[in-house]
Amino acid sequence: MRKCCVVLLLAALAGGCARVEASRQSVEVDMANVDLHVTGDITLRVSNLRGHFTAVDRTVPYLDDKRSYAVFVDEGQVAIDLASLNALMARSMGGGKSNVKNLHVTIKDGTLRQQGVIDAAIDVPFKATSVVSATPDGRIRVSTTSMRGFGLPLRPVMGLFKITMDDLVKVKPGRGIETNGNDLIVDPAIVIPAPAIRGRLTGVRIEADRMVQTFGTGQTTGSQPSLSPNHIYWRGSQLSFGKLTMTDTDLELVDTDPKDPFDFSVDNWNAQLVAGYSKTLPNRGLRAYMPDYNDLKSKRP
């Protein structure tokens, strides 16, 4: 009898857990031509993106808390500009357990150019040239093609003494960057601050002054032809923001100045919402017309 009660209790608990997991449904998201400010110093250029917002540690994604959801990308292209790339590298390569100082990244001829100081037995100022590619598991490989220290080529000396980047460069664990031979392996899902952006990274390239990441095929053209040219659109399931929770979500944020990308702040989007206006559709969907975040900043005293 006692054994039967235990079994029934476990079954009830398992059923309750299953219902909780089932209630964490994802909201479909579609973006086009968006400059996404994830922090004050890091901006992602979203050319196109189709995926899902999925709740983290709660049942419904809450737009006012960027740690309450993760963005799972099915298809799309997301670029990181040079200023944001330097900010990311400073966050990831800095800290007490890193021995790389004063790291600065530039782009030239389709390659990354890095310079800084390696704190080894002595401080070694270095300049390196690297190319980027996607790893089979969806991370970014930064492959060093040349490296100079004290104005002299370091690769021949490193080869002579069987020294690799593993031996020279130390990075604090958990920062999303690790060494592999003479390469750096970067995990964008960890390096980029919240909201976490995850997906099947299939390609990465240098284009002009940006590093462009491709997810899936990278193509989302025609997925939502009724949407405005520059937009963020959520559909289905539940989504919360402010004091509201939408059921069977139909919410489109529309750029009121589509001549340039939709400048959108993850942290301060409510200010953009207040500065714009909204329209309720016959199907009870909501369209919010919003100015660019940078336009709001430029008007502040």
Strand pairing category for 196-199 and 69-81: parallel
Overall size of the chain counted in residues: 301
Q: Is residue 4 part of a domain?
A: no
| SS3 of residue 256 by DSSP | coil
5 in a structural domain: no
DSSP state for residue 45 in the 8-state scheme: E
- Asked if residue 143 is part of any domain, the answer here is yes
* Of 245 and 299, the one with more pLDDT: 245
Say whether both 105 and 63 belong to one domain.
Answer: no
Q: What residues make up the domain containing 92?
A: 83-191
Looking at the 3D structure of the chain, how many domains does it have? 2
Q: Which two tokens stand for residue 187?
A: 């995990």
Q: Which of 141, 173, 191 is the last residue of a domain?
A: 191
Whether residue 161 sits in one domain with residue 123:
yes
pLDDT tens for each residue of 106-154: 999 999 998 888 776 667 788 889 999 999 999 999 998 887 776 656 6
In a shared domain, residues 93 and 71: no
- CA-based nearest residue to 66, from 200, 226, 195, 214: 195
Tell me whether residue 208 is in a domain.
no
Structure confidence by residue, pLDDT tens digits, 153-170: 665 545 544 455 555 566
> Where in the chain does DSSP place strands (E)?
27-37, 43-55, 69-81, 100-108, 111-119, 123-134, 140-149, 152-153, 177-180, 183-186, 196-199, 201-207, 210-215, 231-235, 238-241, 244-247, 250-255, 262-265, 277-280, 286-290
Q: Is residue 169 part of a domain?
A: yes
Do both 265 and 287 map to the same domain? yes
pTM: 0.83
Could you give the CA distance from residue 7 to residue 252 in angstroms, rounded to a whole number? 47
d(CA 40, CA 36) in angstroms, rounded, equals: 10
Query: Are both 94 and 134 inside the same structural domain?
Result: yes
Residues 253 and 288 in one domain: yes
CA dist., res. 24 & res. 60, Å (int): 6
Q: What dihedral angle (degrees, nearest 10) is formed by the CA atoms of 235, 240, 245, 247? A: 20
Please write the tens of the pLDDT for every residue from 227-284: 999 999 999 999 999 999 999 999 999 999 999 999 999 999 999 999 999 999 999 9
- Give the pLDDT mean for 68-95: 90
In a domain, 9, yes or no: no
